[in-house]
Amino acid sequence: MSIAPVLRTRPTESRAAQPLPAVTIAGRRLQPTVVFDTYWHFAVARQRLYFDRITGRSTSVDDDILSRHRFTNCYRATDRVSQFGIRSVAYGGPQEPQDVVFRTLLFKFFNKIETWELLESTIGPISWRTWREDVARAVLDAAFKAGRRLYSAAYVIPPPPMGAVRKHANHLQLLSYMMNEGLPNKLTDAASMRQAYEMLLHYPGIGRFIGYQLLIDLNYSSVLNFNEGEYIVAGPGARDGIRKCFGPASHGIEEQVIEWVTETQQLHFNRLGLDFETLGGRPLQLIDCQNLFCEVDKYARVAHPEVTGLSGRQRIKQNYRQDPRALTPWFPPKWGIEKSFAQQVSRYSKES
């Protein structure tokens, strides 16, 4: 089995990669493993698959692991659920802070497009001003009783302890509580990304991982505009991937490792002779490198079974199944990448 993906188009100059010596991060000496080089090969191959799919080209990546199993995109904002959340939820209605925060949290608590569409098709345009928790609960109660899955399987969304019998009813109660406490105004008054994150952690059922995911989606919207390079929280999957890339000495400094990797990304692409397609000139952000550690953790279970992580998992659960729905990329206008991304897609689609 080939560890590194084989790129069939736009080959970079072939040259032997220079082994990466030990690096010092947060005062610790870390020795990168073979999985760290795979991290960058994976990023290039996965990004090429993304461009292949949005341009309708046949795949330019020959990799059994990538073709058989499901992996998220390199850029978090390009994943289908994130795209729906940006276009149809965050920017898909009135832009008053209370409405944007309300819609975003409601969508992300379930993280499932079909649940949002069910609510919207049943109760009409979703707005805090017209919101009726009892009506929404009745809609979701009926769907649950009919055997409909209300939550995404992408990651576990724990039930907040609000006293209701059903998980979805607890989330609706939590949302009302957050809004009635004035969370939108608190978030817009936050002086830093970390302060906004800690506000979210104040609420029951919002742990470190979920809190940061909510913050990132809110930061995609027009309500918040923090620099994405300001703050990062490593999720459990990322911690596993970092352990595989840097060994046990990385324990406890995972956020600093992500920051270092993000800052030095171009050096590693150059070192390995790799040509990485950015997102309209936008380099990988902290959240993207964090997610890539999650994905390389999964990839390494098959590509590098001899390298152990924290969880001890040895197989990739989800197989890839093509989604027939068209991909129509759309990004926060404040990023300013619309023109450069369109030019990039046009260039890529013309390449043989």
**Same-domain check for residues 201 and 280:** no
pTM (two decimals): 0.91
For residues 247 and 308, is the Cβ–Cβ distance under 8 A?
no
Domain that holds residue 130: 92-220
Name the domain count of the chain: 2
The reported pLDDT for the residue numbered 58 is 77
**Same-domain check for residues 109 and 215:** yes
The reported pLDDT for the residue numbered 6 is 37
The reported pLDDT for the residue numbered 323 is 66
Specify the residue for token string 């470190």: 208
* Amino acid letter, residue 66: L
**Same-domain check for residues 177 and 248:** no
Domain presence at residue 8: no
Domain presence at residue 14: no
The reported pLDDT for the residue numbered 18 is 60
The reported pLDDT for the residue numbered 169 is 98
**Which positions of the chain have pLDDT values less than 70?**
1-19, 60, 314-326, 352
The reported pLDDT for the residue numbered 321 is 62
**Same-domain check for residues 321 and 212:** no
Full DSSP string of 110-152: HT-HHHHHHHHHHH-S--TTT--HHHHHHHHHHHHHTT---S-
The reported pLDDT for the residue numbered 288 is 98
**Same-domain check for residues 202 and 267:** no
Domain presence at residue 225: no
